[in-house]
Structure 1
Amino acid sequence: MSRTPIEHPVIAIAGLGIESSTFSPARTEAPAFHPQRDAEVLTRYPFLADGKPLRAAADWRGALVGKSLPGGMATAAAFEELSADLLARLAAMPHLDGLWYDIHGAMTVEGIDDAEALLLRRIRDVIGPDVMVSTSMDLHGNVSRELAHRSDLITCYRMAPHEDHMETKERAARNLVRLLHSGADRPIKAWVPVPVLLAGEQTSTRIEPAKSVYAAVSEVEAADGVTDAAIWVGYAWADEPRNRAAVVVTGPDENAVAAGAERLARGFWAARRDFDFVAPTGTYDECLDAALASDARPYFVSDTGDNPTAGGAGDVTWGLTELLARPEFGDGGPTVIYASVPGPAAVAAAVEAGVGATVTVTAGAEVDDRHAGPLTMTGVVHAIRHGDRDAETEVVLRVGSVYAILTKLRKPYHHEHDFTDLSLAPREAAIVIVKIGYLEPELYAMAADWKMALTPGGVDQDLVRLGHRRIRRPMFPFDPDMADPDLTARIIPASTEPLSGADE
């Protein structure tokens, strides 16, 4: 039965987002989510600015949206604090027609499995069963049967790196508005869990086979009877039963969404052995040797194991320790930039000494000391910068020919200005080492050559050696010779109906 068209629906926006590595000893507290509330929420989305067509198409109400840098699992207290605030704001709103649930999909909370589905269940208890919910996610999120069930529309990014992140959010909001304007009934959802769990660096859409696998998404979406199609790679560095790849196709035609979901799931499964790292890989020493032997400048090396944008603690000192032990990088050696290691006391000492001073400081390994201990360095303070949103305070310490960035709090380095703001010239450096996996677009464009170092840390790229215990088995690549799985589409009931069937 069709619903009554709503000319100017009231739509709330809410969500919490983080990638949480369960293999990192770090914990994430509530302030790390930088929560925005009420009208401030709308400022996150350029397509909801005053004068934009989508802004005028509905009465948008911000509840609470908080997004953290990836890191360790969220504490139970942080989740309860933020959830309670979000739910109270929703409860205070007038009758809602829709809710846009803006999440990441890989949030692990102490003592809780499938935190996003739990939060959406609580949201449903507040807003009622008749409100249409559109969920937008990162493709490195996880889609359990319950999350798909409690959402009416659900989608994710189609690019890795996520150059389409804002386009995806706009699509989720626009599809919700169209659904409410049309008065159409709740879409049908076809969900297929795919027993594959791979790192993002192995599934970049820049290269094959992910490029072709994801190209099929828009083809399925264009079919009659389909509203949206999505493939989730899943999040590799958490150990929960929901962690795996998944496909969801939504639309008004059950046959069309089922056929589309099965096509995408079969394509992903068929390509599983062809996925490979987005760049040449090697040990750390092999990557440094290659950089030194190359004429390509700047030569980028990804220190992948402690990538803070994948869930690493960010303060593993192993990479910088090994770098400073190399004799090639003493005084007069090739210029190397290393980003970064947190060390609040080291930063404070450098700030007190001032630019140009020689200091001896100790940094790192306050959170993750499993691979190397705190690192003591003597060097010249090259730069100091205050006021960064993530790091708060940054300093650059020159040790021999290495310019090591130290931070008060952990920070990812993805943009050229992250370096130039610190009086560093990455384009003129011989080697730039960044705690990252695949290079973000600006760094990728800047790199004359590039290798990924398979280094230790909470987001180790060697998934099999990490020690997953709770994922559903069999799972590729943990069980490389497993039989072909059942990739038949599961039709998920509408969110107003009881959830049937196991979360296979």
Structure 2
Amino acid sequence: MRYSLKAFNIDCLMHQYKISINTLIIPNVMKKITHGIASLIVASILFFACTSKQKSDKELPRIAIAGLLIESSTFSPAVTHEDAFRTFTGDSIFNLYSFFSPDSLIINEAIWLPTLRASATPGGIVTREAYESLVQKTLNRLEDALPLDGLFFDIHGAMSVQGLDDPEGDFIVRIREVIGTDVVISTCMDLHGSVTPRLAQNTDLITCFRLAPHEDALESRRRAVTNLLSRLKSGKGKPAYKAWVPVPILLPGEKTSTRVEPGRSLYAAIPSVLDNNNVIDASIWMSYPWADEPRNHGVIVTYGDDKEAVGKAAEKLAEHYWSVRHDFEFVAPTTTWEEALQKAIASNKKPFIISDMGDNPTAGGAGDVTWTLTRILENPEFKKSNGKSIIYASIPGEAFVNRAVELGVGGQIDATAGAEVDNRYAPPVRIKGTITAIEHKEGRDQVEVVVKSGNASVIVTKKRTAYHYEKAFTRLGLNPRETDIVVVKIGYLVPELYNMRADWIMALTPGGVDQDLMRLDYKRINRPMFPLDKDMPDPDLSAQFIPLSNNIKR
């Protein structure tokens, strides 16, 4: 093939490679060479640099990115439809991961082919229609991206779908049917997800978060990506061995937080079992207790190139996990709603935060259970002039919000909200008071309203939402730091609320993510299971070696 120097835009190439004639030619020599000849030399250099770069690009691995994330409670009457998912396609996916920024090292290590990544606030079971739609859109984009060397598969691991057990396992099988078994798949998950043998076999490098709350989410995803790059660039490809150990423990995240023992030491033990390529990574999944499915139980997965080391690492972590099962306690004092409120009223610390746990939307609750708010508005403490101040965040009520928008700030409203999805514990709650704020969220079909009823400021939203940040309150004209009591629909406090609290208690309230697991009507999980069966015998914690993904496990 013949190449013409005229085919090169010399100025553009010189700018791209940050080269100038003056930097290429020794000044004394420059006097003896005409500018035209110098340009020819530069063009020749750039020609070889460009063809070398083209060759280098061809050698870069082709890695796709895909993901589908939600945790879904089967104990909630809520149902999740496709419009609940925030979907990113193409290059917009890069904005979700800071390690793919233009100035990062990773971005230049591969030819990245982002396909589709969808996530939703935890909620009820996903409709089969929504699941099939999102999966098929992903498969179509993956097919367009072929051929591939690798795939970064970003999932939560606790998605429930109507009529389908193990959705993530089903999804990865369908991915394999499109991309083939030669592609190396690296999967990152939430530690509250579940790993079946099918999911473990069809992925090659699998990891999960090591902190709860998940302050290491990006770090864990980066680990999944860098491990994938390392195996592809080195030519080692799929690790030779994967060990899987089921641990019959099923506990809520509020009892397994890594802020406290024994969760802190259990997860801190992971680095001690890693050994370069012998044991590349190890992970501990706590699973998700609010889905009544056989796959839900603790799991250990390790992988690497040394069979004995991989097996021993998995067994060591599994035995550690089982040995501390009786030591898991709630991360904060936990009691009934009545006692929690009494403690908050008696306290002189601001803010005293109460976690209204049973309907926590970030764990899969419907978010519209009115049981707690009904009791707040009935309490005389929040009606008297010298009573304690309280913020409640939040209750959804679209009709209520629409009426408030009509009335405007300063208007008087008397209407009901909540219990449109989950009315098992209380009917819609009547809220009567003054509208103090109306906030329209840009780019989202969301409106938030604050109603002052006595000393209680109630946040009512068009759509259910979680309140994790101080600015979520302050932009509504609320000052949580100077409020006596702040009630949030949450379990363990996320970092910003945790740092804001002057005191904190978790209330065992009812809902689709009830923290009192003994009140849940399990029918399908494997038994015996700790702590439901406290006197169960010790399980077999021997490592089970999972076949490589060379054959698709359906």
TM-score (ref. length: structure 1):
0.97
Runs of 4+ in 1 over 2 A off after TM superposition: 221-224, 388-391, 497-500
Q: 1:298-347 deviations in whole A, cap 9, x for unaligned?
A: 00000000000000000000110011111100142211010000000001
CA distance in 2, matches of 1:256, 1:398: 61
| Partner residue, 2:524 | 470
| Partner residue, 2:515 | 461
For 1:103-142, list aligned pairs within 5 A.
Answer: 103-142=155-194
For 1:226-305, list aligned pairs within 5 A.
Answer: 226-305=279-358
State the 1:372 CA deviation: 0.4
CA distance in 2, matches of 1:106, 1:389: 28
Aligned to 1:83, which of 135, 155, 161? Answer: 135
SS in 2 for 1:163: coil
Partners of 1:223 and 1:256 within 8 A in 2? no
Aligned to 1:367, which of 406, 421, 445? Answer: 421
Q: CA 1:324–1:389 in structure 2 vs 1: closer, same or farther (change >3 Å)?
A: farther
CA distance in 2, matches of 1:389, 1:236: 34
| Partner residue, 1:418 | 472
Aligned to 2:410, which of 356, 361, 383? Answer: 356
State the 1:33 CA deviation: 1.2
| Partner residue, 2:541 | 487
Partners of 2:173 and 2:552 within 8 A in 1? no
Q: CA 1:405–1:141 in structure 2 vs 1: closer, same or farther (change >3 Å)?
A: same
For 1:46-445, list aligned pairs within 5 A.
Answer: 46-187=98-239, 188-222=241-275, 225-332=278-385, 333-387=387-441, 392-445=446-499
Q: CA 1:77–1:318 in structure 2 vs 1: closer, same or farther (change >3 Å)?
A: same
State the 1:388 CA deviation: 5.7
Partners of 1:391 and 1:411 within 8 A in 2? no
Give the superposed CA RMSD. Answer: 1.3
State the 1:498 CA deviation: 6.0
CA distance in 2, matches of 1:135, 1:411: 28
SS in 1 for 2:148: coil
Name which of structure 1's ranges 379-388 and 340-349 shifts more when overlaid on structure 2: 379-388
Q: CA 1:146–1:268 in structure 2 vs 1: closer, same or farther (change >3 Å)?
A: same
Q: 1:278-303 deviations in whole A, cap 9, x for unaligned?
A: 00011111001001111111000000
Q: CA 1:91–1:439 in structure 2 vs 1: closer, same or farther (change >3 Å)?
A: same
State the 1:351 CA deviation: 1.0
Q: 1:138-166 deviations in whole A, cap 9, x for unaligned?
A: 00000011100000000000000000000
Partners of 2:146 and 2:179 within 8 A in 1? no
Partners of 2:277 and 2:305 within 8 A in 1? no
Name which of structure 1's ranges 491-500 and 209-218 shifts more when overlaid on structure 2: 491-500
| Partner residue, 1:27 | 79
State the 1:91 CA deviation: 0.8
CA distance in 1, matches of 2:422, 2:155: 27
Partners of 2:202 and 2:552 within 8 A in 1? no
Partners of 2:184 and 2:237 within 8 A in 1? no
SS in 1 for 2:229: helix
State the 1:224 CA deviation: 6.3
SS in 1 for 2:219: helix
More helix by share: 2
CA distance in 2, matches of 1:251, 1:349: 60
Unaligned runs of 5+ in 2: 1-57
Q: 1:466-491 deviations in whole A, cap 9, x for unaligned?
A: 11110011110111100000100111
Partners of 1:390 and 1:409 within 8 A in 2? no
State the 1:94 CA deviation: 3.0
Letter in 1 for 2:315: E
Q: CA 1:390–1:371 in structure 2 vs 1: closer, same or farther (change >3 Å)?
A: farther
Q: CA 1:390–1:218 in structure 2 vs 1: closer, same or farther (change >3 Å)?
A: farther
Partners of 2:181 and 2:552 within 8 A in 1? no
CA distance in 2, matches of 1:487, 1:391: 49
CA distance in 2, matches of 1:166, 1:154: 15
CA distance in 1, matches of 2:457, 2:60: 55
CA distance in 2, matches of 1:499, 1:410: 38
Q: CA 1:357–1:386 in structure 2 vs 1: closer, same or farther (change >3 Å)?
A: same
SS in 1 for 2:188: strand
CA distance in 1, matches of 2:422, 2:206: 35
Letter in 1 for 2:527: R
Q: CA 1:446–1:391 in structure 2 vs 1: closer, same or farther (change >3 Å)?
A: farther
State the 1:237 CA deviation: 0.3
Letter in 2 for 1:334: K
Partners of 1:13 and 1:60 within 8 A in 2? yes
State the 1:464 CA deviation: 1.9
Name which of structure 1's ranges 402-411 and 326-335 shifts more when overlaid on structure 2: 326-335
Letter in 2 for 1:420: T
Letter in 1 for 2:404: A
State the 1:31 CA deviation: 1.6
Name which of structure 1's ranges 379-388 and 475-484 shifts more when overlaid on structure 2: 379-388
Partners of 2:181 and 2:551 within 8 A in 1? no
Partners of 1:390 and 1:411 within 8 A in 2? no
SS in 1 for 2:325: coil
Q: CA 1:426–1:347 in structure 2 vs 1: closer, same or farther (change >3 Å)?
A: same
SS in 1 for 2:421: coil
Partners of 2:450 and 2:458 within 8 A in 1? yes
SS in 1 for 2:214: coil
Partners of 1:307 and 1:435 within 8 A in 2? yes
Letter in 1 for 2:373: L
Q: CA 1:19–1:390 in structure 2 vs 1: closer, same or farther (change >3 Å)?
A: farther
Letter in 2 for 1:231: I
